[in-house]
Structures are given as structure tokens and as C-alpha cells.
Amino acid sequence: MKYFLEDEQANITTITVTLRVQILKQKFSQSLGLPFKELLPSSVIEQALSELKIRYYRRLFDPIVTLWVFLSQVLDTDKSCHNAVSKVIAYLAEIGVEIPSTDTSAYCQARARLPEELLENLFSQAAQNIEEKVTIEHLWCGRNVKVIDGSTVSMPDIVDNQSCYPQPKSQKDGCGFPIAKIGVIFSLATGAAIALCIDVLNTHDIKLARKLYKFLNPLDILLGDRAFCAYADLVTLLKLECDAVFRKHQARKTSMRQGKVVGDCDKLVTWYKPKKCPKGLSLDEFDALPQTITVREIYYYIVIPGFRTERVSLITTLLDKATYSTLDIVGLYGQRWDVELDLRHLKTTLGMDVLRCKTSSMVRKEIYVYLLAYNLLRSLMWSAGTTYGTPPLRLSIHRHSPSFK
């Protein structure tokens, strides 16, 4: 009889947990933050779990509910775990079922169980889903343009965070916060984040970029500032059948008096292989570089009354002036500002500039969840823009926009 009662109690517990999970999934799919039922349905998460061969126990905070709560948490103004769990309890209380403990430990443990690879895959898949909707009229000269940039995020001053992402050496111990460097590639057409790289603060942007090149597709054009304009990287992009438009690095002193003139302020010039192996390249990689490459250099002036006139020099591997005119390339570089706005949305509007997690592994997961939420918002904006005839990139991700209601 004792064993029967235990089995009966176990069945009752299982039914209660299952009911509460179903209620939460219904609530999250309809009314919290984002319409997860359309943007990130449970079937997609289950498929990703299956592909990674991840098995889980039946509990209130299963991977699906946990991820949806995590996404809503990063979108909320109050990003505390206590607030996230309070909303879960409130939804269950509305239905009148038995509510769980207000203790946040179960939710925090469930977040920690989410594999980083799962979040990375869902983030990439969300970006790919938007990219598949891009048609020829959204492309630049028939080409996909990806924009690359780097930034930083801070996190709580915890020993584990400090060991993995130490604060700047200029700051005394106890007077600063751990900081991570991130590199992100965005799609110019959709605004979605395509790829992410996370490293320590003193990592140069070019090192981050070299970890991100694998996410480019043939015929992509990579757009970036002067930090990415290096001989070896132009060669690498050409080998990947991609092209580049970068601002010329200030250390390179190419004279516009040399080269073949192809238009006003527009020339084809020859770049020579560096005499010494640059930092970040192995000797084998350096030896494999060609002795010369031909690039196109375009310069123009920015004149603002009351300020010193600034000359801007662009370097590109797009050599065909008939297909890619001078004005087209100058205009394209002007759109690089969009990536600054994308990073501002992530860091300021969504609040990713100051992370909350207290371990390095959770910090990385938090960053991926922010980027996943950002891409889901971009997907929502793309659908709204195409439905109502408004350019999707003209829509705002501000907290008071309809996307957050």
C-alpha cells in the first residue's frame, strides 16, 4: 500500500507539473513580450534539442519554458530573476492552479542547464530565417552586404567573470568591472545579427573579424571601418569569393598620385605584401600571401561649416567601375552607420551594455539570448514592414514601440 500511495502521489505531481507547463506555454505564446508562437515556436526549440541530442526531465522549467522566460527577462525593464519568476507565478495564479515557490533557484538552475550551443544555434537560425525572405530589390547592386563592427559589454564583478574577462589593467582591483569584447556581423538588408564572437577586452577587432569570416557566403560584401582594413584580410576575403569595402587604415600612406585613374577621386592601386609578418598571422599564413594585390581607392571630403574638412579614403576590392560606381560605393559606406545604430539598440535600447549573470558561461548565454531576442524583433519588424509597405529598417526598436507591447 505504501508503494501504491507513492506511485499515486508521483502521478499527481506529474499531472500538476504538466498542467502548469501547458499553461505557461500558452501564456508565453500569446501575450508576453513577443509572439513566441509565431517567431520561436516550441517545435523549433524541440527540433534544435533533438539535433543536439539533448534530453531533459519533465519539470516546470523545461528548456522551452526556461528559454521563453529568459527571452522575456532580457526584454523587460526589470531584468531580475525575481521579476521573471514573479510573472510566471502571476500567470499560474490567474488560472487558479497550484503555484510554485517564489524562490528563483529553480529558474536559475534551469537557465544554467541550457546549453550554449543550443542558444547559438537558435540565434543563427533566427537570422537565417530573416535572410531567406530577402529578395533582389533589398540587395545592393544585386549583392548581399554584411556589416562588421566590435563593441564591449560589462558584467558583475565576480571572481569567475574577472578571470575570464578581466577589467582594464588601467583600473585598480575593486574599482572596475569585467569587460568582454564582442564582434558582430549584421545584415545590411535586414538589420539582423548574423554572427557573434566573444573574447577578452584587449582583443583587436581584426582578430575578432578573422573568427567571423567563416559565417560569410560567397559573393557577400563585407563593410567595415579602418580597423579591418589589412592586407591579409583583403586576401582572405577574396579567397572566400567575397569582396570588401573598408575605410583605409591611417597607417597606410598610399599616394593617390600613383595608380590607374578610373574616375574622379577613384583609382586602381597596387598594394604590396608587408615586409614583416603582422601580429595575429602565423609564418605559414604570411608566406602564403601573394606579393601584390590590386585594390580600388576612392576618396571624398566631408565639409561641415565650422569644422575642419575631413578627407575619407575607402579601399575596396570591387574593381569594376561600370558595375559599382564611385557614388554607389561612397553611398554604401555611408550606410555603415546603420551598424552603429544596431549596436546601440542592442546595448542601450535592449540593455545589453550591462549584463547581469555571475559566471562566464552564463554571461555568454546571456549575450546569445539578447541577440536571439534582437533577431526575433527584427523578424517581427520585417513582417510588419513588408505587410504595410514600410521599409523594415525604418521601424524603431525603442522600448515604447509596438514591438514591446
What per-residue confidence (pLDDT) applies to 35? 60
Question: What is the CA angle 227-183-148, rounded to 5?
Answer: 60
Q: What stretches in the chain show pLDDT beneath 70?
A: 1-35, 37, 94-98, 253-259, 388-405
What per-residue confidence (pLDDT) applies to 395? 60
Residue 298 forms part of a structural domain: yes
Antiparallel, parallel or unpaired: β 310-316 and 193-200:
unpaired
Answer whether 49's CB lies under 8 Å from 113's CB. no
What per-residue confidence (pLDDT) applies to 401? 40
Phi, psi of 223 (to 5 degrees): -110, 130
What per-residue confidence (pLDDT) applies to 389? 66
Answer whether 52's CB lies under 8 Å from 121's CB. yes
Residue 273 forms part of a structural domain: yes
Q: Which three cell numbers stand for residue 149?
A: 563592427
For cell 541577440, the residue is: 371
Q: Which domain holds residue 299?
A: 241-335
Q: Which of the listed residues 73, 96, 114 is the one where a domain comes to its end?
A: 114
What per-residue confidence (pLDDT) applies to 2? 36
Separation in Å, CA 100 to CA 131, 187, 348: 40, 42, 33
Separation in Å, CA 306 to CA 73, 169, 312: 46, 38, 18
Residue 146 forms part of a structural domain: no
What is the tally of structural domains in the chain? 2
Residue 65 forms part of a structural domain: yes
What per-residue confidence (pLDDT) applies to 255? 57
Residue 323 forms part of a structural domain: yes
| Cα 126 to the center of its chain, rounded Å | 11
pTM: 0.85
Phi, psi of 315 (to 5 degrees): -120, 130
What DSSP element (H or E) covers 87? Answer: helix 81-95
Q: Which of the listed residues 310, 335, 360 is the one where a domain comes to its end?
A: 335
Cα within 13 Å of Cα(148), Cβ side? 29
Residue 187 forms part of a structural domain: no
Q: Which of the listed residues 114, 139, 171 is the one where a domain comes to its end?
A: 114
What per-residue confidence (pLDDT) applies to 4? 33
Closest by alpha carbon to 375, among 117, 66, 75, 115? 75
- Helix, strand, coil proportions of the chain in percent (round to 5)? 45, 15, 35
What single string gives the DSSP state of each residue in 110-175? HHHHS-HHHHHHHHHHHHHHHHTT--GGGSBTTB-EEEEEEEEEE----HHHHHHSPPPTTSPTTS
What per-residue confidence (pLDDT) applies to 55? 86
Q: Mention every residue, 6+ apart, whose C-beta is less than 8 A from residue 125.
A: 44, 48
Residue 368 forms part of a structural domain: no
- The C-alpha atoms of residue 164 and residue 368 are separated, in whole angstroms, by 17
Separation in Å, CA 271 to CA 221, 258, 284, 289, 365: 20, 11, 20, 12, 41
Residue 150 forms part of a structural domain: no
Closest by alpha carbon to 88, among 370, 35, 109, 103? 103
Closest by alpha carbon to 225, among 211, 204, 246, 203? 246
- The C-alpha atoms of residue 369 and residue 365 are separated, in whole angstroms, by 6
What per-residue confidence (pLDDT) applies to 39? 81
What per-residue confidence (pLDDT) applies to 399? 45
